[in-house]
Amino acid sequence: MAIQKIAALALGALLISSACGATPSTTRTPDPIAGHYILRGGGGALDAVTALTSAFTAEHPGVAFEGLEDVGSDAAVKLAASGEADLGFISRDLRPAEVGMVNAVPIGRSGTALAVSATSAVRGLTKDQVVAIYTGAITDWSDVGGVSGKIRPLAREPGSAVRSQFESYFFKGMKPTYASGLVVVYDANATIDAIRSFKDAIGMLSMSAQAYDSKEIRLIAIDGVAATRGNVANGTYKLLRPLYFVYNPDPTKVRPGIKAFLEWVQSPAGQQVLAGL
């Protein structure tokens, strides 16, 4: 009897202890779209893409977007069409030959800027002065309000979204003709590096966070309009180009996470992120 009493008391104490220390078990339902997704695209769209993907992953921590770097708009279309990228992003309209290769979702617009060394005395140029510099009619900075010295014009590679926008605006209705001393560079990093190394240079590049934040360069005004985020947003700055996500037109080749992301981008939540850029 004494043993049974002791056993009963011990069992009662164990049950009370377990009840006091128990915590309800919580099982989190796995996110059905969790996974890694590869994005590739042009640098002009990178700021918008970074803002959108960051906001989306805050709501879906299991989603990871990889490859957010500037590979160019041409490559983005090809990679999205082939399936090597889950989603592409471009900073220009689709070309006629690309229509049907991918579907496109608009995500705003970006600007193309002219940049000089941060130490340059030149704060702005007119459209005619830019044309004269790039055609070789003006070769010295003193002719456009700068310190005397030979101008070194830089251009992005033929076919890039930056150069295409530059030519569309400055050579509208004319065949682009460049000075014999034109130096071709292949991305924004190379443009900024060249302007840092050669204080007499002028170059074209996307108006991205990279360009805005650089201490080595200055984005100059065109026809009195400053190259700022605000002037891009309100349309005052005229060197503008559209931004898009591009993806495979075959719905069976678009992963559920990408479908969910694109639906979110076009929802009020996604549009609010874009409005805040």
Domain of residue 116, CATH code: 3.40.190.10
At residue 164, what is the residue type?
S
Q: State which residues form the domain around 58.
A: 36-110+241-275
Examine the domain organization and report whether 92 and 147 are in the same domain. no
The pLDDT value recorded for residue 276 is: 86
Nearest-10 Cα torsion for 173, 178, 183, 184: 30
116 and 57 within one domain: no
Domain presence at residue 14: no
- 169 shares a domain with 59: no
Residue 3 CB partners (closer than 8 Å, separation 6+):
none
Query: Residue 65: its pLDDT value, please?
Result: 97
pLDDT at 27: 59
Q: Are residues 71 and 188 in the same domain?
A: no
**164 shares its domain with 224:** yes
pLDDT of amino acid 8: 43
Q: How confident is the model at residue 15 (pLDDT cuts 50, 70, 90)?
A: very low
Q: What sign does the dihedral 159-165-169-170 (CA atoms) show?
A: negative
Give me the chain's average pLDDT, please. 90
**What single-letter amino acid sits at 46?**
L
Quick one: 80 and 67 in the same domain?
A: yes
Domain contains 62: yes
Give mean pLDDT, residues 143-153: 97
pLDDT of residue 277: 82
Q: Is residue 207's pLDDT more than 90?
A: yes
- Establish if 195 belongs to a structural domain: yes
Q: Tell me the pLDDT tens digit for each residue of 38-90.
A: 999 988 999 999 999 999 999 999 999 998 888 989 999 999 999 999 999 99
- Where do the H-state alpha helices sit in the chain? 2-21, 46-59, 73-82, 127-135, 161-170, 188-197, 209-213, 229-233, 256-265, 268-275
pLDDT value at 5 more than 60: no
Would you state the pLDDT for residue 18?
43
Domain assignment present for residue 23? The answer is no
Same domain, 124 and 207: yes
195 shares a domain with 150: yes
pLDDT of residue 3: 41
What pLDDT, on the 0 to 100 scale, is given for residue 70?
Answer: 85
pLDDT higher than 90, residue 16: no
- Domain co-membership, 120 together with 221: yes
Same domain assignment for residues 229 and 268: no
| 72/130 same-domain check | no
Predicted confidence at residue 30, as pLDDT, reads 85
Residue-level pLDDT at 20: 46
Domain annotation covers residue 77: yes
Q: Say how many domains are in the chain.
A: 2
Arithmetic mean of pLDDT, 12-33: 57
pLDDT class of 26 with cuts at 50, 70, 90: low
- Whether residue 187 lies inside any domain: the answer is yes
Instruction: Find out whether 107 and 274 touch, Cβ atoms under 8 Å.
Output: yes
* Claim to verify: residue 115 and residue 233 sit in the same structural domain: yes
| Per-residue pLDDT tens digits for 94-119 | 999 999 999 999 999 999 999 999 99
CB of 231 within 8 A of CB of 124? no
- Asked whether the beta carbons of 219 and 114 are under 8 A apart, the reply is yes
Cα→Cα distances 51→114, 164, 275, Å: 24, 25, 11
Q: Answer whether residue 127 is part of any domain.
A: yes
**Per the domain annotation, does 15 fall within a domain?**
no
Alpha carbon distances (Å) from 55 to 48, 64, 69: 11, 12, 18
